[in-house]
Amino acid sequence: RVGYVSPDFNAHSVSYFAEVIVRDRDAAATHVTCYYASRKEDSMTKRLRGLADQWIDISAKTAAEVAAIVRENQTDILVDLAGHTALNRLDVFALAPAPVQVAWMGYPNTSGLTTIDYRFTDARADPPDTPQLFTETLVRLPNSFLCYTPPQDAPPV
């Protein structure tokens, strides 16, 4: 059971990277819940909602309420897709509602939270010899930590 937390499940760059992960997963082996931290609705929101097993609007909920929902859902891995950007829900991650918590994509730097266990990155974004300190354990994915899906109305290349 994987939960993705984001205010950007709409026509935002994060969605064009997250879509393929939700769409092309092994649906028989992975249950996906999208915890949406915004009230903005557009065609991308509708598309992502249709790809997720569960969709929960957390935009008006307190951190404690969201943490309780995450626990009730028995989410195994909770993934933050916003970091220190607008409408983030790092307050939820500070409460550590899931056994494994991961930062990925929306903010390619440390969250500063010791309650986030890992951050997905790659050797270009975070070279192995970087002097920067991170609170998360870096998981450097091969090639790239991003996988872009172009908009459906993009012109041919």
- According to the model, what pLDDT value does residue 146 have? 86
Q: pLDDT, tens digit, for every residue of 5-42?
A: 999 999 999 999 999 999 999 999 999 999 999 999 99
Per the confidence metrics, is the pTM higher than 0.85? yes
Q: pLDDT, tens digit, for every residue of 93-134?
A: 999 999 999 999 888 899 999 999 999 999 999 999 988 899
Band the pLDDT of 156: cuts 50, 70, 90. confident
Radius of gyration from C-alpha coordinates of the chain: 15
Other Cβ atoms within 10 Å of 32 Cβ, number: 20
Please classify residue 29 by burial: count the beta carbons closer than 10 Å to its beta carbon, then call 0-12 exposed, 13-18 middle and 19+ buried.
exposed
Q: Which two tokens stand for residue 85?
A: 């950007």
Give the mean pLDDT of 137-141: 95
Q: Which of 50, 110, 53, 49 minimizes the C-alpha distance to 80?
A: 110
Please classify residue 88 by burial: count the beta carbons closer than 10 Å to its beta carbon, then call 0-12 exposed, 13-18 middle and 19+ buried.
buried
Our measurement of the distance from residue 30's CA atom to the centroid of its chain's CA atoms, rounded to an integer in Å, reads 15
